[in-house]
Amino acid sequence: MSSMTKRLDGRVAVITGAGSGIGLATAKRFAAEGAKVVCVDLDEESGRKAAAEVGGLFIQADVTDEDAVRAMYQTAVDTYGSLDITFNNAGISPPDDDSILVTGLDAWKRVQEVNLTSVYLCCKYAIPHMQRQGKGSIINTASFVAVMGAATSQISYSASKGGVLAMSRELGVQFAREGIRVNALCPGPVNTPLLQELFAKDPERAARRLVHIPLGRFAEPEEIAAAVAFLASDDSSFMTANTFLVDGGISGA
């Protein structure tokens, strides 16, 4: 990538779930655009590999653990001197059958914890650093299912992503005057291990999904990473509290 396109030169970016899929592609994109990348993942092997690949720092952390989240931002600032971007992206897929008549309370709570509470914790502990700097860009991974019903029943997952979307809007409005932008990224189905795992359990699910995607295919993680880089960079400087759909046209159909 030429220096002309290095929109994140010298910026410090934390990415959760950086070991796989969208997070991994974004770590590579951020690094290519000049950022210093802190790769956070629960999985040590993939997280460490991602960090090595992008010349960044690996922090093994469970994003549902309050102390770990607080510490990971402190480590990022102590290591690189600032916190300019956080991509709060770690998440898990829905339980096998995520219909309201089937999903048990424990499964429901687990999905809320990993997909929603983690974003609350990341924002809570990233924002004070950004307030001190008077600037920052926060991107929270929601999903297209936050804005529309899915073709497959996924009650706990959709509710968690709706929560991420609403929280991002609230925070975007609340902190706009402090130079902190908060946007919700809403990908359509993306070809990552998370999606492949779902389709492996229910092969017909892929076909059911494809019918609803005007572009006729799933996204590649790099296509989502390009959108995240835009939201992280000053190219999106007039955008906050936004629902940023990168969904192959699903929500427009």
Residue ranges that bind ligand NAI, judged by CB under 6 A: 16-17, 19-23, 41-43, 46, 62-64, 89-92, 114-115, 141, 143, 187, 189-190, 192-195
Q: Which tokens in the block code for residue 32?
A: 């290519």
Our CB check for ligand NAI shows the closer of 56 and 91 to be 91
Spatial distance between the Cα atoms of 61 and 63, rounded to a whole number of angstroms: 6
Cβ 137 to ligand NAI, closest distance in Å?
Answer: 18
Cβ 64 to ligand NAI, closest distance in Å?
Answer: 5
Our CB check for ligand NAI shows the closer of 118 and 137 to be 118
Our CB check for ligand NAI shows the closer of 89 and 152 to be 89
Spatial distance between the Cα atoms of 48 and 68, rounded to a whole number of angstroms: 17
Strands 136-141 and 36-41: unpaired
Whether 157 is a known active-site residue: answer yes
Cβ 187 to ligand NAI, closest distance in Å?
Answer: 4
Selecting among 73, 80, 125, 157, the annotated active-site residue is 157
Spatial distance between the Cα atoms of 37 and 51, rounded to a whole number of angstroms: 8
Cβ 244 to ligand NAI, closest distance in Å?
Answer: 12
The strand pairing partners of 98, in sequence order, are 154
Our CB check for ligand NAI shows the closer of 143 and 156 to be 143
Residues catalogued as catalytic: 157
